[in-house]
Amino acid sequence: MSDLGLRKIATQLSVKLERDVLIQGTVHQLRKSLQVDRVVLYYFYCEWQGQVTFESLSDATFSILGKTGADDCFNGEYADLYLAGRVRAIPDVEKEPIADCHRDFLRSIQVRANLAVPVLNNQRLWGLLVAHHCREPRPWSESEIATLQKGAETLATAPAIAEN
């Protein structure tokens, strides 16, 4: 392999490492700031199919790393809402008027309260930054919503992610 090929590989690895450190640090800081059980990045690897690629947990039993989600529930209609900047704050999944498949999915991953904001870059929905409270219902304040949105904006504008 040529020196040019090795430099290209080293640069790609460096960018990936920079991205991973930024995302993991962001989800960890958000979880601590929001004082929730879990914050995850749900990354879309192709049109409306994705998986949890990063998480920060208050307890290891809440791990959903690698979970692909309820892809049959998430469709172009929901994607369009998030592309338009939708924020979804659910204080209690048991009382919120949501689709049964969405409620069942949230129950399956121990979610009682859910806050989701889009990570938008290059005019596309790159992922969702999601805070979960697992133990009990939780109302979401405007400042908590703003904090999660700021985290999503930080990720979306980072060069290591914007180029992805």
Per domain, the residue ranges of the chain are: 3-162
pLDDT tens-digit map of 41-67: 999 888 778 899 999 999 999 999 999
Q: How far apart are CA 107 and CA 123, in angstroms?
A: 32
pLDDT at 163 over 70: no
Report, as an integer, the average pLDDT of 111-135: 94
Tell me 38's DSSP state: E
Tell me 61's DSSP state: G
Residues 83/118, Cβ–Cβ less than 8 Å: yes
> What pTM did the predictor assign?
0.90
* Pick from 157, 134, 150, 124: nearest CA to 50: 124
CATH number of 3-162: 3.30.450.40
What is the pLDDT confidence band of residue 107, given thresholds at 50, 70 and 90? Answer: very high
